[in-house]
Structure 1
């Protein structure tokens, strides 16, 4: 899998870029680097990476601004790097479209594992069945192609948003706790950070719900979690 995967590493600290690039290359990935947001956008558009490792704090154009610009064009997986360990900062990074979050200082080996895990979630080896449709075809989820349509129009979802929607849609009316959804979507626990699911749900609703305050598909079950109510 890794031999064909292209990773873009973006950080304004050359030492971090060099170390991360070294570990990724040893693991068989193709790597390109950038040292600011503007340069990262240029490489992203020209090279079409499979995944982006993006520092949050950068001069000229922050990681948040870069992530938001990329999300307007692509659902490519993004792993955020930051020196801030505050939970709200993690939630903020995930809410703008990041798929994972790693706090500095970090283990390069752990980062490589995170990269592999996110890529597996984005392009799973198993073929997931069929096309799910709801409300007379208003919402269509193609599990094999990782494609979602609303009213016939393709909706761009991040890997985590797609996985979250698929888990819920395959189990209509079942109530999932935040912890259950976190385990199913992330593949491992972020202890103490089940609020990350709230951020993903909020983003998902922006994309598939006409009225976010009165959602038709992804409903909140207060004190318990979330469920899918499409018919």
Structure 2
């Protein structure tokens, strides 16, 4: 089922690395592993996986830095593994370009569900002959091809940022709560951490214009028509 989908797993704890590898391989994923960040980066460049799963605390090149290097070169989804659930680590990782994170100890099915969610978001959409385009000031967005332009220039948005923009563009002027965005963009409404939403909204704002997405204090966010 997932034979064509490859996972890069970078984890320095051998027991966790091997247990996670077995869990993913049992579900049909191809898994390549590394025990340090530099080896992980080399593997990423060599094999171009469909998704990267990175521990934050890695020797050589930590997971946050590795996520940033990957994001500079590719839009491949990145999932961070955090041992301490430290808000600083999590936010730094998301700001570096990671799409999501899980905390240790984690259940295998939870990790698999998060990976599946990332891969669904990254899957290309079928496009009709003519793709509708939505305009919001100098921002132009096509919800079918998931492409965005600002002032006529294409925007380099990650898959998560594009999905987030798609939700806003579908309901301009309407307030979308953080929980709703977690459910629709990240595919989970349980044990969700709204920091994921907040950081990605900030990243999206920096690219489409900070004034374009308004914070409605105590409720969530809305796209200004």
Normalised by the size of structure 1, how large is the TM-score?
0.86
Q: In the alignment, what sits opposite 2:93?
A: 93
Partners of 1:87 and 1:193 within 8 A in 2: no
- Structure 2 residue runs of 5 or longer lacking an equivalent are none
Structure 1 vs Structure 2 CA RMSD = 2.3
User: Structure 1 residue 141: deviation in Å?
Assistant: 2.4
CA distance in 2, matches of 1:42, 1:142: 35
User: Structure 1 residue 171: deviation in Å?
Assistant: 0.8
Partners of 2:131 and 2:145 within 8 A in 1: no
- Say whether residues 1:228 and 2:220 are aligned partners: no
Q: How does 1:1-231 map to 2 (within 5 A)?
A: 2-123=2-123, 130-135=131-136, 138-191=138-191, 193-209=193-209, 212=210, 215=211, 217-230=212-225
Regions of 4+ moved over 4 Å: 124-129
- Structure 1 residue runs of 5 or longer lacking an equivalent are none
Residues 130 and 37 of structure 1: CA distance in aligned 2, closer, same or farther (over 3 Å): same
Normalised by the size of structure 2, how large is the TM-score?
0.88
Between 85-94 and 3-12, the greater mean CA deviation after superposition: 85-94
User: Structure 1 residue 135: deviation in Å?
Assistant: 4.5
User: Structure 1 residue 201: deviation in Å?
Assistant: 0.7
Between 89-98 and 76-85, the greater mean CA deviation after superposition: 89-98
Partners of 1:51 and 1:78 within 8 A in 2: yes
User: Structure 1 residue 51: deviation in Å?
Assistant: 0.3
CA distance in 2, matches of 1:131, 1:40: 40
Partners of 1:8 and 1:52 within 8 A in 2: yes
